[in-house]
Each structure stands twice: as structure tokens, then as C-alpha cells.
Amino acid sequence: MTEKSRYDLRGVSAQKTDVHRAIKDKSKGLYENAFCKILPDTLTGSSEHCMVMHTDTAGTKPSLAYLYYKETGDLSVWKDIVQDALVMNLDDMACVGITDQFMISSNIARNKSIIDASILKALIDGAYDLTDQFRGLDIHIGHAGGETADVGDIIRSLDVGFTATGRIHKDNVFVNHIKPNHVIVALSSYGQATYENNYNSGIGSNGLTSARHEVLSNLYASKYPETYNPATPKDLVYCGQHLVTDIDTQTGIAIGKLLLSPTRTYVPVLKQVFKHIDRSALSGIIHNTGGGQTKVLKFIDQIEVVKDNLIDIPPIFELIRTSSNTSYKEMFETFNMGARLEIYCTKDAAPDIILMAEQFNIKAQIIGHTKASDANKVSIHHKENTYTYTA
């Protein structure tokens, strides 16, 4: 059985092929190659402005948070789950130039029989705490409340999501137009940024179905059957060796906490980039979520993206890879592998962008370049191997 089929048999998809097929003939908004769909400003009727309404969730990460909470009683994991869902919205929107004045609404769907009032309160409080934290970074978020639904008939544990809205002047919209002979500045997803309270493993919110089942012990299959789809083949359910409380020898942190590290936001960095870097020096901003290091394939035209100087891969991804015996080729198209934001720019602009990231204690470096090509592809060079991906 290949790793690809292992991933598919768990009912998930790194590339979301069915979704993209379903929407391929639908309007892509005002700017076809923008990272988010951009719409006319129908709220105020301004012809000079446009808007984005974006929805995302924490994916299957709440199932892991529930398991960890049941094992440890640690309520703090729920704020991290809220951060996952929130950042997956805000950072996508920041890629088109919206870095302030967001409006959000939450959507929490729970199985009330197992997700009790204390968890619900932790989720709601976490959302308001996060808006306060963002305000301290001069990023303002209005919270419009949201919907909380008790839907135990259709959900096994919990789903947490947000819808975010932002408005922007058309002159400030950033649309991907990735050019040949530009460099790629990657920002690390791991470490501890100045605005983070703890070490971040870099896992984000992608690939968690695979990660938790491949890393964690089968003990949890019988103990918490509500955390997985009963239709999943038994040999793919919690087939790893670790407990959530086991300590990772490289980081000294519990493996459950590493897997639950909240998704890092890059909005503070991008706010500085848009403020200080001439737009003519930028040709692409890619948030490496679904599709991992191959995400850029959706935004290039007759370009080869060459990544030959990658940021070091952090321990969490090596733990997942060795636990599952997954190939590096699969890992790079499932996980961010330590770099979740890429900025495509002129070589002259790169040092200033790197400095802006480092001022927030975020490691950044030039990881590669672009070149003209007859076919759209990403070439990743790692440990004397080259992995090639095509659109």
C-alpha cells in the first residue's frame, strides 16, 4: 500500500482534487491569480474598493485536541485550536494585501455529549483573547459573534471554523504574477516568534489526520473511538508508537503538544513587507497550506520553481516521516516542512524582507529561484535528491 492510498483511505486529500474540479468553471473573482477570491465592494458600493470573504477551519486538529484534553485535562489546547482556524483565514487574506481591519464570525459545531460547557467556553474565550493579542500587534479584528450548533447526529466530536471579511482599496491589492529570475524568500513555520508564548513545532493545520494516526499509539483507537471515522481501515487507525505525553528527545516537549502547536501567523511580517517593499519588486506571496511545498503550482504560468536551499526541516516532520515510513516526495506535498510562507521577489528586495522576518525572530532565507519553463513545475532538491511536481 502506497502512502498516497494510506492518506486517501483515511478520507482526506492533500490536493483537494474533487473540490477544485467542482469549482473549476466558477468565477475566480476580480483578479484570477489572487491568492483569495476578491469581490466588488457591494457593501458600500465603492468602485475604488473591493473585499474578501474567506472561510476556513482547523481541519481535523480538534479531534487531536480532544484526545489530548481527555488525557491531560489541559484546557489551553482549545485556544490553540481557535488560533489554527483564525490564522488559516487571516494569513490567506494577507497574501492579497489585507493586513488590518478584519471582521470575523465563528462557527462551532459540537457533539454536546462529549464536548462539554468548559470546552465551549474555552473556545469562545480563546477567540476574544486572540483578537486582543492581535490588537497588541496593531492588527485590528472585530468579532461579530457566530454560530454554535449542537449537532451530535452528524459530528463525532467538534469542528471549529471562522469566516473573515476584509475591505481593501484596489490600488493596494496584491495579485500573484510570479516572474522568472526572481528569488524565493521562505519564512520558517517553527521556533518561537516574538509574539508567540512557546516553541512552535511548525505543524500548522495541514496533514493532521495523517500525522496523528501515524505517530500515536493504537491504545487510543479503543479509548477514543469518537476521534476517528469508523469506516477507516483498522490498520490505519492510530498505528504509531507514541503517547501524547511522551517527550520528544530533540525538543524536550510532549509529542501531543508538538502536534498541537498553533498555526503561526505571518500577518505582522506581511504588514511590514507591504509598507516598506516596493510592489514592483514582488511577484508572488504563497501561503503553504493544502499542498504543502507544492502550493505554488496553482499560481504559476510557464514557470519552474526551483527550491534548492531549503530551510532545515524541524523535528516534528521527521517524526511523522519516520513513524509512517513516508517518502520525502509525499511529505513535501502534504506538509509545509518548516516553511509556510513564500515571498517571490527580486534578489535586491530579499535582504530587507529577511530582516523584517528576523525582527520578529522568524528565520527566513532565500530557498530558491524561478525560471522560464514550457511546463509549470516545482523542483525540490533535498539530500542529493530532486523531487519534481507538475500541475
CA 306 to chain centroid, in Å, comes to 22
- Burial class, 301, CB count within 10 angstroms (exposed 0-12 / middle 13-18 / buried 19+): exposed
Give the pLDDT means over successive 10-residue stretches in the chain (391 positions). Answer: 62 62 79 96 96 97 98 97 98 98 98 97 97 97 97 96 98 98 98 98 94 97 96 95 97 98 98 98 97 96 98 97 93 96 98 98 98 97 97 86
Q: Which pTM does this prediction carry? A: 0.94
Residue 184's DSSP bridge partners are: 344, 368
Coil vs helix vs strand at 37:
coil
Coil vs helix vs strand at 221:
helix
Residue that the C-alpha cell 500541475 belongs to = 391
Residue 370's DSSP bridge partners are: 305
Domains belonging to the chain, first-starting first, are 3-390 (3.90.650.10)
Which triple of cell numbers denotes residue 111? 457533539
pLDDT for residue 163:
98
Residue 240's DSSP bridge partners are: 217
pLDDT for residue 21:
76
Which triple of cell numbers denotes residue 137? 500587534
pLDDT for residue 28:
85
Tally the residues of the chain: 391
Residue that the C-alpha cell 483569495 belongs to = 36
- For residues 333 and 15, is the Cβ–Cβ distance under 8 A? yes
- For residues 35 and 285, is the Cβ–Cβ distance under 8 A? yes
Sort strands 39-40 and 49-57 into parallel, antiparallel or unpaired. Answer: antiparallel
pLDDT for residue 1:
46
Coil vs helix vs strand at 365:
strand
pLDDT for residue 9:
74
Quick one: DSSP state of residue 165? E
What are the E-state strand segments in 58-156? 102-110, 141-150
Listed in sequence order, the residues at least 6 apart from 57 whose beta carbon sits closer than 8 Å to its beta carbon are 85, 88, 107, 159, 160, 161, 162
